[in-house]
Amino acid sequence: MRPNDTEEAACPFVFRPARESDLAGLTDLVERIADGLTSLPDNPDFLENKIHESIRSFYPKVTTPGPERYLFVLEETATGRVVGTSGIIARVGGFDPFYTYETRTEAQVYAPLGIDSRTPVLHLKKSHKGPSEISSLFLHPEHRRAGWGKTLSLARFLFMRQRPERFETSVIAELRGYIGPDGRSPFWEAVGAPFFRKDYYTADILSGLGEKAFIEALMPKHPIYVCLLPEAARNVIGLVHPDSLAARRLLESEGFDTTNEVDIFDAGPLLKAEIRTLRTVRAAREGIVVTGSPPHPGLPRNGIVANTALDFRAIAARLPSDDHGEVPLTPGEADLLQVADGDTVNYALFRSAS
């Protein structure tokens, strides 16, 4: 049953696993991504495969992290339109190696001349059994100011909390690096282009499509001294894309820390955290559903509520600040979560709740 399309009856959006019928909506959404996104290239065949891969990842008998790649969408409940997407990779590496540049500091010392300098050097790093990764985050621009990006991002942490056997103990996030107004990556132009003979977007998309062999064959085999790079390239190492600034702030508020690793294409930063220490994971509680009239009507939705099923659903809701074990939901919200009175749900208040 479709819930009433009013703010009081149900949340305007529901977070859920992607399904085959989402392909057209996901394709339309991806077309809006400026500068492209490696994990979501504008390629309908790839997106269809990504949905099928996600459906397989929800196989009930998964007991250890492996090649699973979970893809979620944020659905507008009134129209069924896909307005956002985000994903989780159970473990990076495996069949496809995971590449980064690791920054190490080398000392150059010569006492007779009083020279003692520290020089950052980029080392190519290849991992075959890495941590989990959150990925593929994108929200339609018209919904960003309303704060729905929190639901799209943080709901993943509730799913990981509920299914710890499916993920590693730590999780990373690769954020898009700086791209200039001309669509070029200063880092790629200095480091990658001379070897790959391809523009940044082409190489990035090839990697996103799973073509990793060219990286091993063509990437520079020796460490790269940062001081020898052009100033434009040096200045963007670890710099985040403007569209990803809000995502970075949200992740840092959850407990992610900057590492000494960056993306090999655009030098975007790599953040890392222990899943158990994430704010949403630590703050999450179990509660019992109580349906009725809208709680605190007119107040902002101050937290996130999720069902406990493998067919995961989450919404933003108005939650009481006191922890009394009950989660008040409207009938429409319960319908979106596919729960009923007396069912158990997980919930957590947003950090900025007032």
CATH code where residue 96 lies: 3.40.630.30
**Residue in this structure with the two tokens 């703010």, named with its chain if needed:** 7
Closest CA to 131 of 88, 87, 71: 88
Q: Is residue 330 part of a domain?
A: no
Closest CA to 304 of 134, 142, 162: 162
Nearest-angstrom CA–CA distance, 83 and 77: 10
Nearest-angstrom CA–CA distance, 162 and 222: 43
Q: Is residue 289 part of a domain?
A: no
What is the structure's pLDDT at 354?
A: 38
What is the structure's pLDDT at 294?
A: 66
- SS3 of residue 39 by DSSP: coil
pLDDT, the chain, mean: 88
In this prediction, what percent of the chain has a pLDDT beyond 70?
A: 90
Whole-model pTM: value is 0.90
Closest CA to 135 of 203, 216, 190, 53: 53
**Highest mean pLDDT: which of 67-76, 177-186, 200-209?**
67-76
Whether residue 10 contacts residue 333, with contact meaning beta carbons closer than 8 Å, is answered with: yes
In this structure, the chain runs to a length of 354
What is the structure's pLDDT at 205?
A: 67
Write the pLDDT tens digit of every residue in 185-237.
999 999 988 888 777 777 776 666 666 677 777 788 889 999 999 999 999 99
Whether residue 30 contacts residue 47, with contact meaning beta carbons closer than 8 Å, is answered with: yes
Nearest-angstrom CA–CA distance, 169 and 251: 17
Q: What is the dihedral of CA 308, 62, 38, 257, to 10 degrees?
A: 70
Q: Is residue 293 part of a domain?
A: no
- SS3 of residue 258 by DSSP: strand
The phi-psi region of residue 183 (left if phi > 0; otherwise alpha if psi is between -120 and 50; otherwise beta) is left
Nearest-angstrom CA–CA distance, 346 and 314: 9
What is the structure's pLDDT at 1?
A: 39
Active-site residue flag, 241: yes
In this prediction, what percent of the chain has a pLDDT beyond 90?
A: 61
Whether residue 242 contacts residue 131, with contact meaning beta carbons closer than 8 Å, is answered with: no
Nearest-angstrom CA–CA distance, 46 and 52: 10
CA distances from 332 to 6, 82, 134, 312, 354 (A): 9, 19, 29, 17, 24
Q: Is residue 95 part of a domain?
A: yes
Q: Is residue 343 part of a domain?
A: no
Range of the domain at 28: 13-281
Q: Is residue 90 part of a domain?
A: yes
Burial of 297 by CB count in 10 Å (0-12 exposed, 13-18 middle, 19+ buried)?
exposed
Whether residue 219 contacts residue 195, with contact meaning beta carbons closer than 8 Å, is answered with: yes
Nearest-angstrom CA–CA distance, 69 and 133: 9
Which one of 128, 140, 222, 241 is the catalytic residue? 241
Q: Is residue 114 part of a domain?
A: yes
Lowest mean pLDDT among 34-43, 121-130, 144-153, 321-330: 34-43
Domain total in the chain? 1
For residue 171, which amino acid is it?
V
Q: Is residue 89 part of a domain?
A: yes
Whether residue 297 contacts residue 10, with contact meaning beta carbons closer than 8 Å, is answered with: no
Kindly write down the DSSP assignment for every residue of 63-108, as one continuous string. Answer: -S-SS-EEEEEEEETTT--EEEEEEEES-SEEEEEEEEEEEEEEEE
